[in-house]
């Protein structure tokens, strides 16, 4: 079961005014082209409030979130024109769920941020009438609190949140904040204990702790630690934890960065590339 907290104050407290919400809602029908994205961006600027001010909104069918678009790029992107947000990655994950025989389908969200990928999988499972188990790993306490609130607002009791970081080996870490984008916060090794630090664990140990024996699909976005975390998985985790569908941050540069080559050496094929991510399959 998920570690579900209540959203306080309750969802709806920070709704947009009715005219602004109608304007925001209209962006769901914009075409996926340059003009559609430009209009979505314009409307986002119109409906947004101050940089620290939250907005309560439904972002996917039946999925509600308290967004702070001024402090987190992914929350900014999903506020308007949510259909544009990582649409190829989300489509690949939804297809993996629909086509899988696993019961339940198990999704691991490494670097869960405020939970947009986890919540998308919840929405997809509800639409498909499928049972779903999600392990969302997020060490940043501020970001994790937002994640837990979004799960509560959406009734996502099939998401378990792990307050640790993923690494090649066990250790401890702290968060190094980016500044104006929480999604770019990084984990740094540290001896800090208590409220100032958290555990870093290999994926197999995290899964063992939270009762996950199989992973069907996984998203990895660890801000520079993706390769180390996946190397640890390939070295120590049983193959039942090697997902068939894998979304990994590959950057904007070369077609085959080290993290992609690492996955390819362990049986994965790249089936799609987006601006930042590689969509990979294991056969």
Per residue in 69-121, pLDDT (tens digit) is 999 999 999 999 999 999 999 999 999 999 999 999 999 999 999 999 999 99
Percentage above 70 pLDDT, the chain:
96
Domain segments of the chain as ranges: 18-84, 87-282
pLDDT score at 1: 43
pLDDT score at 255: 77
Give the up-direction half-sphere exposure of residue 8: CA atoms within 13 A in the CB hemisphere.
4
pLDDT score at 184: 83
Q: What is the pLDDT of residues 40-60, one digit of tens each?
A: 999 999 999 888 899 999 999
CATH node for 87-282: 3.40.50.150
Is residue 124 within 8 A of residue 154, CB to CB? The reply is no
Task: Give per-residue burial for 249-264: e unless 16+ CB within 10 Å, then b.
Answer: bbeeeeeebebbebbe
Task: Give 112 or 251, the one with higher predicted confidence.
Answer: 112
Residue 252: pLDDT band by 50, 70, 90 thresholds? confident
Place of tokens 């937002």: 146
Task: Supply φ then ψ for residue 266, to 5 degrees.
Answer: -115, 25
> Cα angle at 58 between 56 and 60, to 5 degrees?
145
Is residue 145 within 8 A of residue 172, CB to CB? The reply is no
Report in angstroms the alpha-carbon separations of 49 from 18, 20, 21, 42: 15, 11, 13, 13
Strand order across the 165-166 sheet: 165-166, 198-201, 171-176, 186-189
Percentage above 90 pLDDT, the chain:
85
Please give the full DSSP string across 153-213, using - where no structure is assigned.
HHT-TTEEEE-SEE-SS-EEEEEE--SS-GGG-EEEE----GGG-EEEE-HHHHHHHTT--
CA distance 226 to 94: 22
Residue 262: pLDDT band by 50, 70, 90 thresholds? very high
Q: Please give the average per-residue pLDDT across 167-171, as a whole number.
A: 95
Q: What is this structure's pTM?
A: 0.95
Environment class of 130 (CB within 10 Å of its CB; exposed 0-12, middle 13-18, buried 19+):
middle
Report in angstroms the alpha-carbon separations of 123 from 99, 173, 186: 16, 32, 28
> Cα angle at 255 between 254 and 261, to 5 degrees?
100
Q: What is the pLDDT of residues 137-164, one digit of tens each?
A: 999 999 999 999 999 999 999 999 999 9
CA distance 258 to 249: 11
CA distance 53 to 55: 7
């Amino acid at each position: 079961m998920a570690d579900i907290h209540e959203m306080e104050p309750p969802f709806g407290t920070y709704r947009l005014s009715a005219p602004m919400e109608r304007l925001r809602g209209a962006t769901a029908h914009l075409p996926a082209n340059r003009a559609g994205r430009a209009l979505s961006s314009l409307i986002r600027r119109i409906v947004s409030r101050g940089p620290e001010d939250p907005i309560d909104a439904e972002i996917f069918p039946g999925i509600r979130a308290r967004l702070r678009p001024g402090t987190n790029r992914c929350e900014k992107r999903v506020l308007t024109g949510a259909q544009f947000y990582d649409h190829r990655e989300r489509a690949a994950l939804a297809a993996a769920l629909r086509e899988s025989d696993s019961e339940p389908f198990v999704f691991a969200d490494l670097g869960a941020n405020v939970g947009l990928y986890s919540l998308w999988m919840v929405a997809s499972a509800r639409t498909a009438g499928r049972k779903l188990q999600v392990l969302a790993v997020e060490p940043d306490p501020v970001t994790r609190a937002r994640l837990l609130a979004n799960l509560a607002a959406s009734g996502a009791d099939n998401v378990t949140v792990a307050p640790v970081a993923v690494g090649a080996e066990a250790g401890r870490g702290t968060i190094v904040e980016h500044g104006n984008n929480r999604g770019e916060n990084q984990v740094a090794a540290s001896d800090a204990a208590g409220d100032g630090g958290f555990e870093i664990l290999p994926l197999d140990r995290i899964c063992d702790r939270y009762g996950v024996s199989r992973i069907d699909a996984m998203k990895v976005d660890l801000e520079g630690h993706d390769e180390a975390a996946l190397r640890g998985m390939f070295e120590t985790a049983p193959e039942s934890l090697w997902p068939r569908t894998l979304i990994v941050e590959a950057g904007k540069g070369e077609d085959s960065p080290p993290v992609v080559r690492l996955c390819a050496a362990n049986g994965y094929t790249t089936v799609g590339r987006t601006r930042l991510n590689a969509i990979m399959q294991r056969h």
